[in-house]
């Protein structure tokens, strides 16, 4: 595994934190949480253990920070997809595609978010729940504004779209040789759009 910086190189705090998170991602992906060791993460990052502990008091703190960064990335992708167009017919495949791109971009990231084996830890469960709840909130707001539905109905549709998108994306990743990303997104989005677009047209 490639180390990002040689020991002794001083970096701004934000850059150092990003470097440590990237190293931790590689170690967690290779060994799993329980087998990963802080000294190995420090070695991977090219820093001393005291430097690592200056940023993260313990392994769980490091894991949660990494998980939170992945959740933020997913939510950002969903919000960007919703904001990318005012055409709801295009918003659906854009939103579905956000989940496919997140899953396909970094398998270790999506496994931490959707398949974490530390859900018994309250802080981990909270972060995992936010991946869904923040995505649902963003979609609910858009559906409420554009389809004229009350919030409860819009939220139910948003939950359905999020669930459909992330489960389909994870299935596709495991079997993606059978079809392209574009075809998989189109199939999934078509299923969602026939329900949302056909039953709840844009309200002016």
**Is there a contact between 195 and 179 (Cβ–Cβ < 8 Å)?**
no
Residue 88 CA to residue 193 CA, distance in Å, equals 9
Q: Which of 62, 71, 67, 69 is nearest to 24 (CA)?
A: 62
pLDDT for 12? 82
The SS3 of residue 148 is coil
| pLDDT bucket at 195, cuts 50 / 70 / 90 | low
pTM for the model: 0.84
pLDDT the model gives residue 138: 95
Domains contained in the chain, CATH given: 11-57 (1.10.10.60), 64-195 (1.10.357.10)
- Sign of the Cα pseudo-torsion (107, 109, 110, 114, in order): positive
Per-residue confidence (pLDDT) for residue 168, from 0 to 100: 94
- Please choose, from the candidates 56, 55, 70, 58, the residue with its C-alpha nearest in 3D space to the C-alpha of residue 25: 70
Out of 55-59, 76-80, 141-145, 157-161, least confident range? 141-145
pLDDT in tens, 56-111: 999 999 999 999 999 999 999 999 999 999 888 899 999 999 999 999 987 788 88
- 30-62 pLDDT tens trace: 888 999 999 999 999 999 999 999 999 999 999
């Amino acid at each position: 595994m490639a180390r990002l910086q040689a020991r002794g190189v001083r970096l701004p705090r934000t850059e150092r934190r990003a470097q440590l998170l990237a190293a931790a991602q590689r170690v967690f992906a290779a060994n799993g949480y329980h087998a990963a060791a802080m000294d190995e993460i420090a070695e991977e990052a090219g820093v001393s253990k005291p430097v690592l502990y200056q940023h993260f008091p313990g392994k769980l703190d490091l894991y949660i920070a990494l998980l939170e960064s992945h959740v933020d990335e997913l939510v950002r992708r969903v919000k960007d997809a919703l904001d990318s167009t005012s055409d709801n017919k295009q918003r659906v495949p854009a939103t579905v595609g956000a989940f496919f791109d997140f899953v396909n971009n970094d398998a270790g990231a999506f496994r931490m978010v959707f398949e974490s084996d530390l859900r018994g830890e309250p802080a981990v469960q909270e972060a995992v729940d936010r991946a869904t709840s923040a995505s649902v909130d963003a979609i609910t707001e858009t559906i409420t504004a554009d389809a004229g539905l009350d919030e409860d109905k819009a939220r139910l549709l948003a939950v359905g779209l999020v669930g459909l998108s992330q489960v389909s994306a994870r299935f596709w990743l495991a079997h993606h040789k059978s079809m392209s990303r574009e075809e998989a997104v189109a199939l999934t989005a078509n299923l969602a759009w026939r329900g949302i677009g056909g039953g709840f047209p844009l309200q002016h």
